[in-house]
Structures are given as C-alpha cells and as structure tokens.
Amino acid sequence: MSDKDAGTPRVFLLRHGETEWTISGRYTGRSDIPLTSGGELQVLNSARVVVGPRKLIDPSRVAHLFVSPRSRAKRTYDLLFEDYQEALEGKSETTEDIREWDYGLYEGLLTAQIREGRKGRALDKERPWNIWVDGCEEGESPAEVTERLDRIIAKIREVQGPHMYGEKGVDVVLIAHGHILRAFAKRWIGFELSMRLPMMLEPGAVGVLSYEHHKVDEPALLLGVNMGSSQ
C-alpha cells in the first residue's frame, strides 16, 4: 500500500489447496473432498512466504478469521497457522456463511456437463448457463449467496471501521473456496454477482482487499502489495 494508506485494515482471501476435484475441474461444494499432498504443499509454501511477524499476514494483527466448515478449508487453516495457534486463540470462527456455493444438481460435474444437462431440460435457449446470473438448480441462487456474504461483510466493517488508520491490528482472514471468495470480492466492492468482473484465485493462493483513503465506506480491491514493507 502507499504511505498514505499504511495501516489501513486488510481482508485476506485464502483459497484452500488443491483437491482431486480441483485438478479435474469438478464443481465441489458440499462434498468433503480432502487436500491432495500437492495441495498441502501449496498451502505450506504460501504460509512460508506470507504468514509471520512483519510479513503480509502478521498473526499479531489479525482480529478474526472466518473459516469454511469443509475439511479442506479447515486443513488449510491448520497448515497456514500451525505455528501461531496461541496468537489466534479465540479468533477463529467456522461458519456456513463462507462455505462454497451450493451447486445443487451440479455437484461433482464439469461445466460442459452442466450445460449439456440444462440443454436437455430445455434451459438456456438464448445464452449459455452462467452461475453468476442463473445460480444452480436445487442449489443456491446469486441472491442467496449474496445474503450470507453480506452478513460477513457487515461484521468485518464493524470490527475494522473504528481503526482505519492502524490504531489497532484488525486484519481479517477468510479461508474458503474458489467461487465463494470471488463472489465475496464482488460484494466487497458493492458489485451484484451478475456484474462481470473476471477474477482468478489459484489453490493455496491469497487475495487482498482493503479500503481507499482510510474510509470504511470506500472498500477496494488491493491489486498489488509491496512484500518488502510492513505495517
């Protein structure tokens, strides 16, 4: 962040490491698929680079963590913060509000299979299926996903709002899944989920959100982070 924004609270989006279904591209929502050995290594490599005193995610400045209840997310939390359990004691919340999108009928399928199935049910006659617009049959709609993500955002801003100049360490960490974290980023900046905002978040990777001008009502995507500086 620039000097003028130093100390502004941040929200870190951490996607769990890869699973067998991540590798194959299958939609993985409620299925409790474990990390692969490669997925665990992804998370450990990220932890070495970004987690620790005076690093990007300094556990001493973390006020709260929201963790998906799926085992792949909880295992990612354990790997990321295995050396900082004491510093984070009482700050971690496992919540359904940050679980992956409920894919309903599409659980375990590939995008091509979903679109072919919908075609067979006489859907999508004018355009291809788009989860951000159409949601999932027997799963969640964009409105339902928005409702639960907005609850988390409200909690975060209540925690961070009084400390916009770094008076207190109030960084927040979310450990969850690819679709839901991208949905969260959209809602963070006030976008409807149907609005086009192409984003990528690799397994085991970290994204960063913050605010402009030290103002809680000016949320922003933090596109670049100076890894050599500290708050």
DSSP, collapsed to helix, strand or coil, labels residue 4 as helix
> Was 129 annotated as part of a binding site?
no
The residue count for the chain: 231
Q: How far apart are CA 59 and CA 85, in angstroms?
A: 9
- Is residue 76 part of an annotated ligand binding site? no
Is 138 annotated to bind a ligand? Reply is no
> 52's torsion region: left (phi>0), alpha (psi -120 to 50) or beta?
left
Report whether 106 belongs to an annotated binding site: no
Active site residue 163: no
Our measurement of the distance from residue 208's CA atom to the centroid of its chain's CA atoms, rounded to an integer in Å, reads 9
User: Residue 77 annotated as binding?
Assistant: no
SS3 222: coil
User: Cα(76)–Cα(194) distance, rounded to whole angstroms?
Assistant: 29
Per the annotation, does 94 bind a ligand? no
> Parallel, antiparallel, or unpaired: how do β-strands 206-211 and 92-94 relate?
unpaired
| From 18, 40, 100, 140, active-site residue | 100
Q: Which of 16, 64, 177, 179 is catalytic?
A: 16
Considering only CA atoms, which of 83, 93, 95, 78 is closest in space to residue 58?
83
Q: Hunting for tokens 């008076």 — which residue is that?
A: 167
Is 16 annotated as catalytic?
yes
Helix segments in 128-230, DSSP class H: 131-134, 142-160, 178-188
**Annotation: binding site:** 28-29, 72, 100-103
Question: Which amino acids are annotated catalytic?
Answer: 16, 100
Annotated binding site for substrate: 28-29, 72, 100-103
